[in-house]
Amino acid sequence: MSVAEKSQKKSGGLGETFSVIIQALLLALVIRTLLFQPFSIPSGSMRPTLLEGDYLFVTKWAYGYSRYSLPFGPDIFSGRIWGSEPKRGDVVVFKFPPDPSVDYIKRVVGLPGAKIQMKDGQLFINDVGVPRVKTGQIENPDITEVPQPVDVYH
């Protein structure tokens, strides 16, 4: 085997490795842009269901796609395609309007047109109290951040 043949084999191997890396990066970009995206819970506002530092993968297609679902927001189509409405109780991720670089992870309580109120710790939707059913207690201060047990309602 000549020196020229050996150098061709090495460059072919290096080129193939480079090609595989580029393909893997493109596949990861497509998956993250169109299918799933990882998020980390930054605060305790979703306790006890989701804790600070928890990771979750969010499906990108749950409520359909709009031009804002794609990088750089190309105006390919108007409205939302393959869309569905969020339901009460869904956990959603959205951009914080005053600062779009911040992602908020929250649970849906009200739907469009609903009147939402909190009166003395009781949730009211369209002036009707949402029934609270005690489902247990949490006694772990790492979760509740208080030394005594905390009641959990559904």
What integer pLDDT is reported at residue 7 of this predicted model? Answer: 53
Q: Are residues 72 and 35 in the same domain?
A: yes
Identify the three-state secondary structure at position 49: coil
Helix (H) or strand (E) holding 22: helix 3-30
What integer pLDDT is reported at residue 4 of this predicted model? Answer: 54
In CATH, what number is assigned to the domain containing residue 30?
Answer: 2.10.109
CA distance 40 to 56: 6
Q: Are residues 120 and 80 in the same domain?
A: no
Please tell me which residue in 6, 9, 10, 106 is annotated as part of the active site. 106
What integer pLDDT is reported at residue 9 of this predicted model? Answer: 55
Q: Are residues 127 and 100 in the same domain?
A: no
What integer pLDDT is reported at residue 3 of this predicted model? Answer: 55
Please tell me which residue in 40, 43, 45, 84 is annotated as part of the active site. 45
What integer pLDDT is reported at residue 5 of this predicted model? Answer: 59
Q: Are residues 104 and 81 in the same domain?
A: yes
Range of the domain at 64: 3-108
The structural domain count of the chain equals 2
45 is catalytic: yes
Q: Are residues 58 and 80 in the same domain?
A: yes
Q: Are residues 39 and 97 in the same domain?
A: yes
pLDDT block averages, 10 residues each, the chain of length 154: 56 84 93 86 82 88 78 72 87 87 89 93 92 85 80 78
Last residue of a domain, one of 72, 89, 108: 108
Q: Are residues 103 and 117 in the same domain?
A: no
Report the 10 Å Cβ neighbour count for 105: 19
43 is catalytic: no
Q: Are residues 97 and 42 in the same domain?
A: yes
Last residue of a domain, one of 87, 108, 129: 108
Q: Are residues 87 and 17 in the same domain?
A: yes
CA distance 110 to 88: 6
